Amino acid sequence: MMTSAAIDTPVGPLNVTSDGQAIVRLEWVSPAEAAIGSGPSLEIRQHRGEEAEPDDGDPILTEALAQLRAYFDGRLGDFDLPVDFGRISDVARTVLTALAGEVPTGTTITYGELADRSGTGVPARAIGGIMGLNPIPIIVACHRVVAGDGLGGYSGGLPGHELETKRRLLEWENALPQPLF
């Protein structure tokens, strides 16, 4: 059974989904969607504007919300949660797993470096596409993957604010690459 809950963050409202065994999705939702819920599996408990824990007894979802709060409070760097990337290719899974295991908070890696570290043989350009497939951004920190000459792209964040979201997450982690001159 899928359960979800929303959390308000400095980079916008997030909806986190668990299947009871792992976190399977993290996505940005509009403030209106976060307030009223979206879809049959979304279970948002809000009282007087405060987030409440989901009451379905899903400890994975409860822990994910706690870790996200700690991350945005500056008390947590790297997440320690089971994740399930779902139906993606083995190559994409290998690249995302390498990212999660080898690029800690406060650091960045270029698309080419991640291509090399993953051992998959995919070109750097393909890494950007794989980052766009990541169903669990922030927790699996695809925002830490940057171009050799700047930020590169980003598909997370509220519509129209994707690259701004990447910049804000990297600033939050003190990992924003210095401009090249």
Is there a catalytic annotation at residue 142?
yes
Closest CA relative to residue 98, chosen from 72, 135, 127: 127
Is it the case that residue 180 has pLDDT exceeding 90?
Answer: no
Instruction: Give the integer Cα–Cα distance in Å for 29 and 109.
Output: 27
Contact predicate 61/26, CB 8 Å:
no
DSSP structure class, residue 104: -
pLDDT digits (tens, 9 = 90+) for 84-136: 999 999 999 999 999 999 999 999 999 999 999 999 999 999 999 999 999 99
pLDDT digits (tens, 9 = 90+) for 39-93: 433 333 332 233 444 545 899 999 999 999 999 999 999 999 999 999 999 999 9
Mention every residue, 6+ apart, whose C-beta is less than 8 A from residue 72.
Answer: 9, 10, 172
Of the listed 44, 142, 145, 170, which one is catalytic?
A: 142
Mean pLDDT score, 141-165: 93
The pLDDT assigned to 43 comes to 39
Contact predicate 53/11, CB 8 Å:
no
Domains belonging to the chain, first-starting first, are: 3-72 (3.30.160), 90-172 (1.10.10.10)
The length of the chain in residues reads: 181
The pLDDT assigned to 179 comes to 65
